[in-house]
Chain A
Amino acid sequence: MAKLGEVEKRLLQEVADLHTIPEGAYNIRANGVSAGRMSSANIDIQPKEDGKGLDIYIKPGTKKESVHIPVVLTQTGLKEVVYNDFYVGDDCDVLIIAGCGIDNCGSQDSQHDGIHRFFVGANSKVKYVEKHFGSGTGRGKRILNPVTEVHQDENSYMEMEMVQIKGVDDTLRDTTADLKAGAKLIVRERLMTDGDQNAVSTYVVTLDGEGSNADVVSRSVARGHSYQKFDAKILGNAPCHGHTECDSIIMDEGRILAVPGLQANCVDAELVHEAAIGKIAGDQLIKLMTLGLTEHEAEEQIINGFLK
């Protein structure tokens, strides 16, 4: 087990709100190796045989328990691909907190590609929180390319909160999901890019079962010279409801491409998309300035609220 330094502890706090060792099951990965692992009576965390990830088994009927699996990188030039598979039994109600923080003070790129697969059992409820954060003054880039694959069994519910607010230079997010009858997926993505950062976020959600439901909402801010692409596609293969929304603020020289896509393969599939991109409204700035904020403070308040 590796020992955590101050920078690693700060990153852990940023991505998983962890000040100390978490309660319940956890695995903390620091610079490519485990810095602590604990299974619980109902949640078993097993390293994969090749050492490149974890298998996490959550027993059927597990309620009100959590799993923390944060990753921190502070070594410049370190590139890793990690495969984590979550097997959530039937009738569970669990919280899974992932997230990755990279602090790169060197000249070489640091990169973490986390590939997460979720197999959510029937009638189970999962909340998944994933925060990505980058810091450090080095020229080397901080790169995060998460791949998330969700398979939802009948009447399961999955809520995904994905946040990347600061310091990640390059990201390619790829999320796919397929839902059986009565399953529901909620995605809330919040993304901010600045400087020369690039972020591409792609979703393909397939509604296979009758009564399945997906709501994929992204709120994002592109500042500086940054570029974002939000590409969300929902396929309706049965009587189902799908909604995708991209709501974005652009500032400075930022650029955003929103590509909402819907494909109905069943006459009873009800699919809706919305996309809006614009700068901060002048009236919003003026209102907050009449309350005593400077223009810059007003902008920060508006963005903080928007991404909250």
Chain B
Amino acid sequence: MLELKNISFRVDEDGQTKDIIQNINLTIPDSKIVVVTGPNGGGKSTLARLIAGIEKPLEGQIIFKGQDITELGITERANLGISFAFQQPVRFKGITVYDLLKIASGKTVSFGEACNLLSFVGLCARDYIRREVNSSLSGGELKRIEIATILARGGELAIFDEPEAGIDLWSFQNLIEVFENLRRKIEKSSIIIISHQERILNIADEIIVLKDGRIDKKGPREEILPQLIGTSSMVSYCRQDI
């Protein structure tokens, strides 16, 4: 599905160069949920943004379904089937939930289809479909709408950057179900989730631990998860909340 070859990325901060991602090599297989975890500042979100094309690597290659996409922009990657759910969903004045789902889908979406998408993420469609995606929506509501846009796109590689950030416990329980359903819904699709959450790590097929911009560990969940217990790479929802 996706292959990163020797990817590096650095930024200039206060006149000093800081390495964020250092020579990363990894492969995301078809039909897998891959959870990327690791300490804060380890480069997880940057990795997600590099895959979506929001940031460009300084070195290395990104191969998606056999095609070199390193030089492609965000739009081109989106149209090839890569979707990206923001950690902090963006608000828009005047754009309704229905508008956003239509844009995401790239084709005509019937009212009924849009309602199904919202129901899938646990929102009562009738209450939300005409609402503007503005500051009147809570963090949890926005997050669900963000996930609904990913469903509407139906791409083969969905990237979620800390989907649990800013949502309440009730929404979080439902989020896990949404991911499990998502995998079943899109055939052969793969999902990359940036998360520290124990319950999200528990649904992973594979886990990657990023630390200081490098891959610290990677492998099947059964192998990696026991090594994470008690570290900042895995926290339970309530613990992080406290």
Contacts and interface: CB of A to CB of B under 8 A. Distances in A.
Interface of A: 219, 247, 281, 283-284, 286-295, 301-302, 304-308
A284 B94 contact: no
A305 B86 contact: no
B111 interface: no
Contact of B74 (A247, A281, A289): A289
Contact of B78 (A284, A289, A295, A302): A289
Interface in B88-110: 88-90, 92-95, 99-100, 103-104, 106
A287 B133 CA distance: 12
A58 B132 CA distance: 37
Interface string B30-57: 0000000000000000000000101000
A5 B92 CA distance: 40
A293 B100 CA distance: 12
Interface of B: 52, 54, 73-75, 78-79, 83-84, 86, 88-90, 92-95, 99-100, 103-104, 106, 132, 149, 153
A292 B106 contact: yes
Contact of A283 (B75, B90, B103): B90
A306 B86 contact: no
Given A290-B84, A291-B78, A308 B94 contact: yes
A308 B132 CA distance: 11
Contacts of B86: 283, 287
A283 B86 CA distance: 9
A291 B153 CA distance: 7
B74 A305 contact: no
B103 to A, nearest CB: 5
Nearest to B86: A287
A291 B149 contact: yes
12 contacts: A219-B93, A286-B74, A286-B90, A289-B78, A290-B52, A291-B78, A291-B103, A292-B79, A292-B104, A293-B75, A302-B95, A306-B93
Contacts of B132: 305
